Structure 1
Amino acid sequence: MKTTYIRLSLVTVLLLGMYSCKKGEANVNDYEASVSADSAAAVSDDISSAATMNVKDKQFIKTAEVNMDVKDVYDATVSIEKTVQELGGFVINSNLRSNIVAEDSYNTSDNEATLIRKYQTENSMQVRVPVSKLGGLLTLINDKKLFLNARIINAEDVTSSIRYAEMEEKRISKTEENISALKTNKDKVKMSNENRAEKNQQQLANLEVTDHLKYSTVDIFIKEPKLRIAEIAVTNTSHIDNKYQFNFIYDVKDAFISGFYLIQRIFVGLITVWPLLIVAGIIFYFFRKRKSIKRIDG
């Protein structure tokens, strides 16, 4: 039961911040509504109305995803990043990379070669812009496309949740008053600490929700439809390998030295087993001597 209460309270605060901002910043919202209307008028017809939608007494969290082909990923990336900054937004991340499809090396002389690399460049970006500028950003991004693979625009209506959060706030405030009226003991201290921790979580949640109401998150994926080819000057490694693969004079000298060292190792090895050599010599001596005695007796 207590866990359910805490979860409901967290949900309350997540959305209550949006309502509080709405009440405390009525003039700001009126101004943003006016800007949104002007922005909507400037946006071309091929941009969804969800990006510029403004309904009285409604609150929306707006997000978008764009997947498209462009002529030059690097140029498009620089342009989009610059546009985002000009609109008062910021770039969360930009992951530009070149995926190598194939590469091969061709010798052009004894010492030089050319590396032919085929690759495709792409970039995954995530940016945030003021909600009132979302339509404008999508329009400017649309101008960079060669082909639009996909575009998703979400406008989540959170009005009912905000109003529910207001009722939850009143309930939490009443609970706080009831806790204050209790006689001081260990249980009261524990309940007060839990209530304070819940309030802190609510404040953090309020900041996050308010931020999502003011700024839209846009995920952008761009790539080039065709492969690019890079010609890179490199060293002819085959010629270098052949050049140093065999050296007659050095190899003869090295073989002579290696043979000398081999003789040394054999000699040292014989010295190491000298007891065995002595035993073998004694056995051989007695064997020969016995053989000679048999010949005399015979």
Structure 2
Amino acid sequence: MKTTYIKLSLATVLILGVYSCKKGEASVSDYEVATSADSAAVSKEISSVATMKVKDKQFIKTAEVNMEVKDVYDATISIEKSVQDLGGFVTNSNLRSNVVSEDSYNTSDKEAMLVKKYQTENSMQVRVPTEKLGDLLTFINNKKLFLNSRVINAEDVTAGIKYAEMEGKRIKKTGENISELKTTKDKVKMNDDNMSEENQQQLANLDVTDNLKYSTVDIFIKEPKLRVAEIAITNTTNSDNKYKFAFFYSAKNAFVEGFYLIQRIVVGLIMIWPLLLISGFGFYFYRKIQSKKKVNQTFKEQNPAS
């Protein structure tokens, strides 16, 4: 039974990895530059690849487009609307402006101009019904100024689907065999493992079915040149200078702070009155002693014989 479990695991891994399977894969990858080719011919080429059908074959189709457009925002809105009209949906749209430089210039005492140089770009991922993939790629192609690259893949998953069907039957049969066994701890574990394998296969089948129905298209668009944005702002330098120093306000505060300083000094002296009293007594006795010494010295000078 352990060998059966290992085989089931391997089967599930193979099913989950069906998208990376290269056997029987039909893919077209072309990197284009600006040419004088007729746009109708380009559209026909896109359609022939994206709408490719082969009898008794099933393909998961994906595409990647990298191009430059006149206006990224307008192109984004148009592409998103086109996707919705075709019955698809947008899974991700990351539109951003990359600022190259930013400088401000004073135009008057109160006004200034902020000048930004930037380049806008957008990374998108959309999904459309597979039968509408060619229509979407044709629409996107008409929006380009310069095509950097385009990749269209049609991955043959026919064998993987057949294999998944056989694995489903095998897992079902294994479940029936397990149910006939005597109830033990090993039976419970085997039944749990089998159900887990069945759930994983069903999830893989749902994933394959979804990717067969809807094609994923990754789109990267950007503008070929920098744009310049001029934004009116306040002259902050002049405002800073205006309020940097207020003389009368500072003088008034200095006078008040000086008055508070005097108060603090007086309060401080009151707090140390014992020290002042002791110092006063000491100074008094010191002067008294000095005065007595001076009197004695004078007396000796006047009566040298005594």
Q: TM-score, normalised to structure 2's length?
A: 0.79
| Deviation readout 1:139-184 (Å, 9 max, x if unpaired) | 1111111111222222222222223323322321221121011012
Provide the residue aligned with 1:261 in structure 2: 260
Q: CA 1:289 to 1:203, structure 2 compared with 1: closer, same or farther past 3 Å?
A: farther
By how many angstroms is 1:277 displaced? 3.4
Cα contact 1:84–1:137 (8 A) shared by 2: yes
Query: Does 2:73 match 1:74?
Result: yes
Does residue 1:167 correspond to 2:166, yes or no?
A: yes
Alignment of 1:267-282 (within 5 A): 267-282=266-281
Is the CA contact (8 Å cut-off) linking 1:67 and 1:220 kept in structure 2? yes
1:281 is displaced (CA, Å) by 3.9
Secondary structure, aligned partner of 2:12 = helix
- Aligned equivalents of 2:9, 2:282: Cα separation in 1: 97
C-alpha separation between the residues in 1 aligned to 2:49 and 2:122? 25
Q: Compared with structure 1, are the counterparts of its residues 237 and 182 closer, same or farther at alpha carbon in structure 2 (3 Å cutoff)?
A: same
Larger Rg belongs to: 2
For the residues of structure 1 that align with 2:208 and 2:257, how far apart are their CA atoms?
79
**CA 1:167/1:290 → structure 2, altered by over 3 Å: closer, same or farther?**
farther
Q: Give the CA deviation at 1:282.
A: 4.4
Note the alpha carbon deviations across 1:218-240, whole angstroms, 9 max, x for none: 11111111111111111122222
Contact 1:120–1:226, Cα closer than 8 Å, also in 2: yes
Query: Once the 2 structures are TM-superposed, how far is the Cα of residue 106 of structure 1 from its aligned partner?
Result: 1.7
> 1:275 deviation in Å?
3.9
What is the 5 A alignment of 1:130-145? 130-145=129-144
Contact residue 15 and residue 162 of structure 1 kept, 8 A: no
Cα distance, 1:72 vs structure 2: 0.2
Shift of residue 286, structure 1, vs aligned partner: 4.5
Name the residue aligned to 2:213: 214
Secondary structure of the corresponding residue to residue 10 of structure 2: helix
Match of 1:4 in 2: 6
Structure 2 unpaired stretches of 5+: 19-39, 298-306
Q: Note the residue ranges of structure 1 that are not aligned, 5 or more in a row.
A: 17-40
1:43, CA displacement in angstroms? Answer: 7.1
Equivalent position amino acid for 2:165 in 1: E
Alignment of 1:54 with 2:53, yes or no, is yes
Q: Using a 3 Å threshold, how does the CA distance of structure 1 residues 158 and 289 change in structure 2: closer, same or farther? A: farther
SS at match of 1:47: helix
Distance 2:174 2:17 in 1: 19
- Counterpart CA distance in 2 for 1:206 and 1:278 is 101
Distance 1:276 1:152, change over 3 A: farther
Deviation at 1:103, TM superposition (A): 1.6
CA distance in 2, matches of 1:286, 1:5: 113
Q: 1:48 to 1:278 in 2, by over 3 A?
A: farther
CA shift, 1:283, in A, is 4.3
In structure 2, distance between residues paired with 1:275 and 1:191: 95
The whole-number CA distance in structure 1 between the counterparts of 2:84 and 2:11 is: 37
Q: Residues 268 and 205 (structure 1 numbering): CA distance in 2 closer, same or farther, change over 3 Å?
A: farther
Quick check: 1:250 aligned with 2:249? yes
Structure 1 counterpart of 2:174, which letter? Answer: T
How big is the shift at 1:189? 2.7
Deviations 1:159-217 (A, max 9, x none): 22223323322321221121011012333233223322332332222211110111111
- Give the 3-state SS of the residue equivalent to 1:269 in structure 2: helix
> For residues 50 and 283 of structure 2, what CA distance do their matches in structure 1 show?
106
- Retained in 2: the 8 A contact 1:12–1:168? no
Question: What secondary structure sits across from 2:173 in the alignment?
Answer: helix
> Could you tell me how far apart the structure 1 residues matched to 2:117 and 2:153 are?
37
Between the two proteins, what is the percent identity of the paired residues? 71
Measured in 2, the distance between the counterparts of 1:6 and 1:284 equals 107
Query: What one-letter code is carried by the residue in structure 2 that aligns with 1:162?
Result: I
Report the counterpart of residue 184 of structure 1 in structure 2.
Answer: 183
Aligned residue pair count: 274
CA distance in 2, matches of 1:199, 1:282: 105
Partner of 2:127: 128
Cα deviation for residue 46 of structure 1 reads 4.4
Contact 2:66–2:220 (CA under 8 A) maintained in structure 1: yes
- Separation of aligned partners in 1, 2:192 and 2:141: 52
Answer yes or no: is the 8 Å Cα contact 2:171–2:198 preserved in 1. no
**208-217 vs 48-57, which moves further:** 48-57
Deviation at 1:287, TM superposition (A): 4.2
RMSD: 2.7
